[in-house]
Amino acid sequence: SQTIHQWPATLVQPVGSPLSLECTVEGTSNPNLYWYRQAAGRGLQLLFYSVGIGQISSEVPQNLSASRPQDRQFILSSKKLLLSDSGFYLCAWSVRGVETQYFGPGTRLLVL
C-alpha cells in the first residue's frame, strides 16, 4: 500500500529564516505530487505540482519554491520566511493519469 510522509510535523521559525519541508511517497512510482497550504480562515490553496523529476509548476506567485530531486521526493523551500507564510502545509500525491489525490499528515508552520 502507498504511504506519504511529511516532516517535520510542526515548525516555529523567525521571520527571515529559511525553510525546507520534505515529503516522500512510498509504494508507488511516477506519482504526481502537490504542495498545498491551508491558512487560518482560508481554504486549501494549491502552491505547486509536479509530474516528474525536475518538473515543477507554480500556481501562486510567492517567496516559496519547490523541487523534486527524486521520483518520490518533493521539497518546499523558502530563502526568507514572511509572517504570511504561516499555515498548514500539505503534500499530496496521485497516480499518474488519475485525479484522486491523497494527502500526507501535514506540517504546521508558525512564523514569528
Partner 1 sequence: QKEVEQNSGPLSVPEGAIASLNCTYSDRGSQSFFWYRQYSGKSPELIMFIYSNGDKEDGRFTAQLNKASQYVSLLIRDSQPSDSATYLCAVNMYSGGGADGLTFGKGTHLIIQP
All three cell numbers of 109: 508552520
Q: With contacts defined by CB under 8 A, name the span among 14-22, 66-74, 77-85, 98-106 that binds partner 1.
A: 98-106
- Is residue 53 involved in binding partner 1 (CB under 8 A)? no
Which range binds partner 1 by CB under 8 A, 12-20, 21-29, 38-46, 71-79?
Answer: 38-46
CA angle 88, 94, 100 (to 5 degrees): 90
Q: Per CB under 8 A, does 99 bind partner 1?
A: yes
Q: Which is nearer to partner 1, 14 or 54 (CB)?
A: 54
- CB atoms closer than 10 angstroms to residue 58: 14
- CA atoms of 75 and 53, how far apart (whole Å): 11
- Residues 65, 78 contacting (CB under 8 angstroms): yes
CB of 97 to partner 1, least distance (A): 4
- The yes or no reply on residue 28 touching partner 1 (CB under 8 A) is no
As given in the structure block, the three cell numbers for residue 108 are: 504546521
Shortest Cβ distance from residue 43 to partner 1 (Å)?
4
